[in-house]
Structure 1
């Protein structure tokens, strides 16, 4: 996963106020807006106790809960710097718990994890309930969405809607197939999920360009999607659960291959820190452990991080402080334009939850 969406945030100087809040409004509460406001007040008090300035708290208050048009369960990640809005992002799922942090580095790892796995896909739902013949009356209705999972839960992708007379379906399916191929190329689609009437969808699938036909996964019983949410959301949830994006899987395979031959890869926090210090990390692999208490010492620049204060000062860095390891690692990844791959532990357990694939092999390494 490329972290370029965080670059504008890190271009701003700290300190930062970081807030993660459940802003769902479909819960069984009498006044959901009041519930969101109450949760925000608890976080506001926590920020003030951590030393946040009033301007930052006021800027947060203007952004928190502004997602009234987003249906279903979701959340917000909100950041300010020096009393000004720095970043607002809708979360595909509510945070595990509401949190607020004020400090020199933004708390971005929970946001990054919610962007994973970042699978580009096409979802197609074909509605037809008539006789399975092109001389029947009625229409075939096609809904399609090109998106990136799971962000389309809260940020809908490009939508296509067509209604075609059954008599024209054979020809129209070919035209729609070419249109879908165009959308697929723009987002580098790796999955085409098709639901709906078996006869009508079979005609479409058989007329898709060859580049898409091999990516098709038919699903049953998709039902109607909630307005404002991802098309076929519940089926996509089941299909993509525990799955990695193809690009991330390629990086992980390279990491495992180099690890097997003791080449340009490493595991554990000290090894990851050492590689980030030298700007050598191509991708960092992470088992998500939000409860982790690991900490690192950091300086003002992204590559200024170390396991101990003494090590960082030995490099001539004077302005040092201790921070959460995940916050320090994320800043270093963004600053060096390295990628992050969230790896489910059932696929691979990493030492201290961290591994790195290097941009080039160490000349001193064997092989």
Structure 2
């Protein structure tokens, strides 16, 4: 899971209001229910010491039906505010595991990560011989991601064997190949720009295979094909939707499995070789301070997740004990949860996060990381 959505809140000093709330839509008194929920959240924040301006900003945001551009039927949202301003209003694809309002030194971002972990972004490329349409599918629905048009002449073969016709057939083949190359280049650009994690090609069988073969090797490993749906009006969308769901779920499962395998391999190098994985809060805190975390592993409700650590204003200012930060120059450290502190640091350094829901598969204590490089040894 990429953490770029958290960028607006990771460097900003707190304290922070964090609210996870359900969004009633379908009932006749949905607006009234939203107002009551907004009032309750603001009241809880005030009781925890939040300032009036921040409470009012949260109340106003939660009382609205949804954020700008948010689908109407999303069941939950996470709101983060400080200094009288809502800095991030993030839709949730499912109801939050627990609705709550928190006033704390760091934003409570781990519940957002747990909710967003299964929301794999799939770029669907609807292909025919003339071009392609792109749509980004996620738990928030389908978003138009653009169109590319290739050459429109010649694109249709004939059935005759005349020399001139054979020449024409060759031109058709060349047009198909050129269009496939242009579609592949455009698909790569859109994939990278929209933050997609997996790609599904739908439409003309020959053309989508040609497009797949022309994708860069790294992208081909996460590009799949569907026999359903297409660019033409009236194409079968029901079975394509099932294929999209299958590809998204499969990608998440395979990605978590791959991360856990890499974690175990990095932790069990044997002999005197340095480890490229870490677990346990002290080792993770040290790795986060040194920007060594490549992939952070989180397990909801684990023992280490709620362990108290100490933080300063910066994402790399974190320690197991407050005296450590004071030694490093932070005169007023604050207590925070280990999972939130590590996730903030991971987001700040461009790391990704993976949620492992099975405690039996998770690192000891429930938190772990694959490292960008190993810790320096004493003799180095």
TM class by shorter chain equals 0.7 to 0.9
**Shift of residue 322, structure 1, vs aligned partner:** 2.0
Of the candidates 312, 316, 322, which is equivalent to residue 303 of structure 1?
A: 316
Q: CA separation of 1:236/1:290 partners in 2, compared to 1, >3 Å: closer, same or farther?
A: farther
Q: Which residue of 2 aligns with 1:150?
A: 138
Cα 1:298/1:190, change in 2 over 3 Å = closer
2:247 corresponds to which of 232, 239, 261: 239
- For the 8 Å contact 1:283–1:358, the answer to whether it is kept is yes
Match of 1:265 among 268, 277, 291: 277
Q: Does 1:319 align with 2:332?
A: yes
1:145-184 equivalences in 2 (<5 Å): 145-147=134-136, 150=138, 153-154=140-141, 156-160=143-147, 177-178=180-181, 180-184=183-187
Contact 1:91 1:154 in 2 (8 A): no
Once the two structures are superposed, the pairs formed by residues 61-72 of structure 1 within 5 Å of their partners are: 61-64=59-62, 65-67=65-67, 70-72=71-73
1:358 aligns to 2:358 (yes or no): no
TM-score by length of 1: 0.73
Partner of 2:108: 107
Q: Offset of 1:235 from its aligned partner? A: 4.4
- More displaced 10-residue stretch of structure 1: 277-286 or 321-330: 277-286
Quote the residue 1:185 is aligned against: 188
- Compared with structure 1, are the counterparts of its residues 180 and 77 closer, same or farther at alpha carbon in structure 2 (3 Å cutoff)? farther
Q: Which residue number corresponds to residue 38 of structure 1?
A: 36
Identify unmatched segments of 5+ residues in structure 1. 128-139, 163-167, 226-230
What displacement does 1:100 show? Answer: 1.3
Q: Secondary structure at the match of 1:364?
A: coil
Structure 1 residues 328 and 50: alpha-carbon distance in aligned structure 2, compared to 1, 3 A threshold: same
In structure 2, the residue matched to 1:274 is 286
| Structure 2 match to 1:86 | 87
SS in 2 for 1:360: coil
**Cα drift, residue 344 of structure 1:** 4.5
Structure 2: how far apart are the matches of 1:80 and 1:243?
33
> 1:5 is paired with a residue of what secondary structure?
helix
Distance 1:122 1:299, change over 3 A: closer
Q: Which consecutive residues of structure 2, in runs of 5 or more, have no partner in the other structure?
A: 150-154, 158-171, 230-234
Q: 1:165 is matched with which residue?
A: none
In structure 2, distance between residues paired with 1:257 and 1:233: 36
The number of residues matched between the two structures is 338
SS in 1 for 2:288: helix
Greater Cα radius of gyration, structure 1 or 2: 2
Report deviation, 1:206. Answer: 4.1
TM-score by length of 2: 0.71
Does structure 2 retain, via aligned residues, the 8 Å contact 1:92–1:154?
Answer: no
Partner Cα separation in structure 1 for residue 205 and residue 332 of structure 2: 64
User: CA separation in 1, counterparts of 2:378 and 2:100?
Assistant: 43
CA contact (8 A) 2:21 2:100 kept: yes
> Quick check: 1:265–1:356 contact (8 Å CA) kept in 2?
yes
Instruction: Give how far 1:44 is off.
Output: 1.8
Q: Name the CA distance, whole Å, in 2 between partners of 1:363 and 1:97.
A: 41
What's 2:78 paired with?
A: 77
Superposed, 1:15-34 pairs within 5 Å as 15-23=15-23, 25=25, 27=26, 29-34=27-32
SS at structure 2 position matched to 1:184:
helix
Q: State the alpha-carbon separation in 2 of the partners of residues 159 and 347 from structure 1.
A: 43
Q: Is the partner of 2:252 in helix, strand or coil?
A: coil
- What's the Cα RMSD here? 4.1
For residues 176 and 347 of structure 1, the distance between their equivalents in structure 2, rounded to whole angstroms, comes to 49
* CA distances 1:141-193 after superposition (whole Å, capped 9, x unpaired): x995442x635x2572515599xxxxx78879878755642442022466443
Q: Secondary structure at the match of 1:6?
A: helix
Compute the displacement of 1:13 (Å): 1.8
Cα contact 2:81–2:87 (8 A) shared by 1: yes
